[in-house]
């Protein structure tokens, strides 16, 4: 059962340093600290500029940050509806198994309904069995036939500068 001391709320500019700290804790949990190359300043720009790219929800227990969900809108051409893509969901270890992760997903599901979204999607690392079991219990489908494709860094520039051959 979720405690009445739990608060879920949209992040504000005052939350950026705490949110960035939670992102670093997530990277540590996933053994990906080397992949955190961004900054709190960039995060603030992407959350709160005139054209924000992402949104974040902060989970607090008795006023202390316990976790977060960071998400953005995507679009389904088959449904011709917007969706919400959950980029990251993380709860600090000392706050796990208290319903916070479930509350964050419920919050996003409610937001998806309010915004007329056809999907709420996210990815999970294949080794993260506790998360996979949690998502299955929540009713999520783990799609076996889909793989994430990613182009980053120099590869983006390489593709952008590649001459397109006509046929």
CA–CA dist 159, 167 (Å, integer) = 18
* Tens-digit pLDDT string for the chain (167 aa): 457 799 999 999 999 999 999 999 999 999 999 999 999 999 999 999 999 999 999 999 999 999 999 999 999 999 999 999 999 999 999 999 999 999 999 999 999 999 999 999 999 988 889 889 989 998 999 888 888 888 988 999 998 998 887 66
Q: Where are the beta strands (DSSP E) in 15-158?
A: 55-61, 64-76, 81-91, 119-122
**Is pTM, for the whole model, over 0.85?**
yes
Residues belonging to the active site: 135
């Amino acid at each position: 059962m979720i405690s009445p001391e739990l608060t879920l709320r949209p992040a504000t500019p005052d939350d950026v340093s705490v949110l960035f700290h939670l992102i670093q804790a997530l990277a540590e949990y996933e053994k990906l600290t080397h992949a955190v190359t961004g900054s709190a300043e960039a995060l603030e720009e992407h959350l709160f500029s005139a054209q924000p790219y992402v949104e974040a929800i902060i989970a607090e227990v008795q006023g202390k940050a316990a976790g977060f969900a960071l998400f953005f809108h995507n679009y389904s051409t088959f449904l011709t509806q917007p969706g919400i893509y959950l980029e990251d969901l993380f709860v600090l270890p000392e706050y796990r198994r208290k319903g916070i992760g479930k509350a964050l997903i419920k919050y996003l599901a409610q937001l998806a309904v309010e915004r007329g979204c056809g999907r709420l999607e996210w990815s999970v690392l294949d080794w993260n069995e506790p998360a996979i079991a949690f998502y299955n219990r929540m009713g999520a489908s783990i799609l076996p036939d889909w793989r994430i494709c990613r182009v980053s860094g120099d590869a983006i520039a390489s593709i952008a500068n590649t001459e397109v051959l006509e046929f």
